[in-house]
Amino acid sequence: MSGADAAASGIEPFDAVDVIRRKRDGGAVADDALRWMVDAFTRGYVSDAQMAAFAMAVLLNGMTREEIRVMTDAMIASGERMSFARLGKRTVDKHSTGGVGDKITLPLAPLVASFGVAVPQLSGRGLGHTGGTLDKLEAIPGWRAALSNAEMFEQLQGVGAVICAAGSGLAPADKRLYALRDVTGTVEAIPLIASSIMSKKIAEGTDALVLDVKFGSGAFMQDIGRARELARTMVALGADSGVATTALLTDMNTPLGRAIGNANEVRESVEVLAGGGPADVVELTVALAREMLALAGRPDADVEAALADGRAMDAWRRMIAAQGGDPDAALPAPRETHVVRATADGIVDRMEALPFGIAAWRLGAGRARAEDAVVHAAGIDLHKKPGDAVRAGEPVFALSADDPARFARALDALEGAWSIGETAPASAPLVVERITA
């Protein structure tokens, strides 16, 4: 019996309590019962309390690969499914699990699009210590995140890349379930994380997908083993759904790049598109671009050349202008700055990503609640990174805010989060592992 049939007849084919008990006791939920659970939750028949109990049971007992696939399919079926088949060219998207200073989407989308590949990048906003791509781009005067499906399609045809907000019609069941997980201590359930991310990406209709799954201090998954499990689960979901998917495991123990915030991360992204920028941001942008282009049938594309010769910058300017932004406009500047200087000569040997993310959040670059506004000019600029030599009195980093009263709490978050020693830290690879189906 379908959800519509059940709603019309008043007779439901399953009982939520039975489904919860099955998972609570470590069993696998039958496909039709799991599909019903998601559908009935979307219709409001299964209560928030019941779905929260089910989510806790999943957190404690996990799910089989088949269960995760079925739940993801049910999430997709709760809303619309987009298609870019009429574009006449391959589409490839990228998703990052989030980190501190992670602005990679900004230079990456136009870089890949400069090779004639369509990049439909549906992105989100920041919450807590991880920044949001849409918040960064909204620092550009006039730029808008909300596009209709028709506008998105038109921009992909003409420009080749679009970064915009996901419509409410994509996987609405996931939106409701995520809100519950956020307040019931079940966000960390890997099957539910994987289903949440992949349901939206598959419903989006992209041909291929590259995942940047981060681990370390500033990542959602701090343990590399759990990050690897999440990556493998999502890659399997992509394969099961006919979406070519690969994942890179990347280190997020140290902030990415030298800018943490919104407007300053846009500036740094433009530096990369102009052929410069921090080495780690360039390295990860190039690595992800190669993955995306390989999945799109362009494995021999010279991505470094596209950054050096201006093709990627041209695509960036067209993408920003197509969404109402002025790529030449001045970005917001902070009213106040506070510089933290070295007290001794030495080498910066440690900068923990999470405290720097929290400090930027406290400065106003992030939000504590979904309805909060961000201060686009707020953030942190790192003058030194681990491995850099520093002399006493030289700036190590600078805090920016519109309200100087915010500096004290930001500095509290950074207490003990960085240090200067006598030797450089051991080098660690940024991209640790590549995971395929």
Same-domain status, 323 and 347: no
In a domain, 177, yes or no: yes
What's the pLDDT tens digit per position in 214-242?
A: 999 999 899 999 999 999 999 999 999 99
- Give me the mean pLDDT over the 287-291 stretch: 98
Give me the number of domains the chain comprises.
3
Is 430 domain-assigned? no
Residue 266 belongs to some domain of the structure = yes
pLDDT number for residue 17: 97
Report yes or no on 73 lying in a domain. no
Q: Which residues contact 210 (CB under 8 A, 6 or more apart)?
A: 92, 93, 94, 95, 245, 246, 247, 248, 288, 291, 292, 295
Dist. CA 20–CA 42, nearest whole Å: 16
Stretch 73-77: mean pLDDT, rounded?
A: 95
Range of the domain at 344: 336-421
Q: What is the mean pLDDT of the chain?
A: 94
Confidence band for 124, pLDDT divided at 50, 70 and 90: confident
Q: What pLDDT score does 7 carry?
A: 55
pLDDT of residue 9: 59
Contact 191, 38 (CB under 8 A): no
In the structure encoding, which two tokens stand for residue 107, read together? 């230079």
Q: What is the structure's pLDDT at 359?
A: 97
Domain membership of residue 273 (yes or no) is yes
When pLDDT is averaged across residues 397-409 and rounded to a whole number, the result is 97
Asked if residue 41 and residue 91 are part of one domain, the reply reads: no
For the entire predicted model, the pTM comes to: 0.93
Same domain, yes or no: 245 and 384: no
Torsion from C-alpha of 229, 233, 235, 238, nearest 10 degrees:
-170
- Quick count: other Cβ atoms within 10 Å of Cβ 154? 14
Residues 295 and 224 in one domain: yes
Q: Which two tokens stand for residue 114?
A: 């400069």
What pLDDT shows up at residue 3?
57
Q: Residues 101-116: pLDDT tens digits?
A: 999 999 999 999 999 9
For 337, residues 6+ apart whose C-beta sits below 8 A from its C-beta are 398, 399, 400, 401
Mean pLDDT throughout 122-139? 85
What is d(CA 350, CA 356) in angstroms, rounded to the nearest whole number?
Answer: 12
Question: Catalytic positions, please?
Answer: 95, 174, 181, 196, 200
What is the predicted pLDDT for the residue at 201? Answer: 92
Alpha carbons 79 and 304: distance in angstroms, whole number? 39
Number of residues assigned to the chain: 437
Is the per-residue pLDDT at 423 higher than 90? Answer: yes
pLDDT in tens, 144-193: 999 999 999 999 999 999 999 987 788 899 888 988 887 888 988 999 99
Helix and strand numbers (H, E) in the chain are 17, 13
Are residues 372 and 305 located together in one domain of the fold?
no
pLDDT tens track for 250-273: 999 999 999 999 999 999 999 999
Domain membership flag for residue 70:
no
Of 300, 329, 358, which closes a domain? 329
